[in-house]
């Protein structure tokens, strides 16, 4: 089945979740299914633009909020230009004008296993790193934007990604978008 955005309409979908929930994978598949841009501007993107190494940006970001703000601002600016799927940890909070907000969630063990599979390494080290990263991210988001990233109750759709594969998740999102009249199917 193919889906399209109604004529003369734009559609902005925000997809968020903690590391290992499937944000990037689902956002890419969703953007492909709709034939729209997937935006995922990250520290890595900033590294390519500035010529600073990724490690240097990460290190500087520990004491300079400007790096987080630059990435978050750029993502929103890019998303405001066209129909898109914005996939980032803060997308549902930062893209206020999103037509549809999706939060992907999974438990720490599942997320750690996924990260371990993707990046290799010892599962216990990955779990410890994931726990530390979650805590650091939450602290930064609270400090920078007064966002509690554990409160996603306002999202239009919350999906437990432990129970579904990425394609099933995309189908769930497409179905919800169609029910809201944000997209139409060819059937």
Using the predicted structure, report yes or no on whether residue 174 has a pLDDT greater than 80: yes
What is the span of the domain harbouring residue 173? 11-107+153-185
- 88 domain-assigned: yes
What is the model's pLDDT at position 187?
A: 67
Q: Which tops the pLDDT comparison, 13 or 44? A: 13
Domain count for the chain:
1
Lowest-confidence segment of 83-92, 130-139, 143-152 by average pLDDT: 130-139
Using the predicted structure, report yes or no on whether residue 19 has a pLDDT greater than 90: no
- 140 domain-assigned: no
Predicted confidence (pLDDT) per residue in 140-159, tens digit: 899 999 999 999 999 999 99
CATH number at residue 75: 3.40.50.300
What is the model's pLDDT at position 137?
A: 84
Most confident of 42-46, 107-111, 168-172: 168-172
What is the model's pLDDT at position 139?
A: 87
What is the model's pLDDT at position 61?
A: 85
3-class DSSP string for the chain: CCEECCCCCCCEEEEECCCCCCHHHHHHHHHHHHCCEEECCCHHHHHHHHCCCHHHHHHHHCCCCHHHHHHHHHHHHHHHHCCEEEECCCHHHHCCCCCEEEEEECCHHHHHHHHHHHHCCCHHHHHHHHHHHHHHHHHHHHHHHCCCCCCCCCCCEEEECCCCCHHHHHHHHHHHHHHCCCCEECC
- 77 domain-assigned: yes
Kindly report the average pLDDT of the chain as a whole number: 91
- 119 domain-assigned: no
- 144 domain-assigned: no
- 73 domain-assigned: yes
pTM (2 d.p.): 0.90
- 116 domain-assigned: no
- 115 domain-assigned: no
């Amino acid at each position: 089945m193919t889906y399209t955005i109604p004529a003369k309409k734009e559609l902005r979908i925000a997809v968020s979740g903690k590391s290992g929930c499937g944000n990037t994978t689902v956002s890419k598949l969703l953007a492909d299914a709709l034939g729209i841009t997937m935006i995922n501007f990250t520290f890595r993107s900033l590294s390519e633009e500035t010529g600073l190494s990724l490690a240097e940006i990460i290190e500087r970001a520990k004491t300079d909020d400007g790096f987080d703000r630059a990435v978050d601002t750029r993502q929103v600016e890019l998303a405001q230009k066209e129909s898109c799927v914005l996939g980032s940890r803060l997308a549902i909070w930062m893209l206020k004008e999103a037509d549809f907000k999706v939060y992907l969630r999974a438990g720490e063990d599942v997320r750690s296993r996924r990260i371990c599979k993707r990046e290799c390494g010892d599962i216990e080290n990955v779990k410890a790193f994931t726990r530390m990263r979650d805590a650091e991210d939450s602290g930064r988001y609270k400090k920078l934007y007064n966002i509690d990233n554990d409160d996603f109750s306002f999202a239009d759709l919350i999906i437990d990604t432990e129970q579904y594969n990425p394609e099933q998740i995309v189908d769930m999102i497409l179905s919800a978008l169609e029910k809201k009249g944000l997209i139409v199917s060819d059937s």
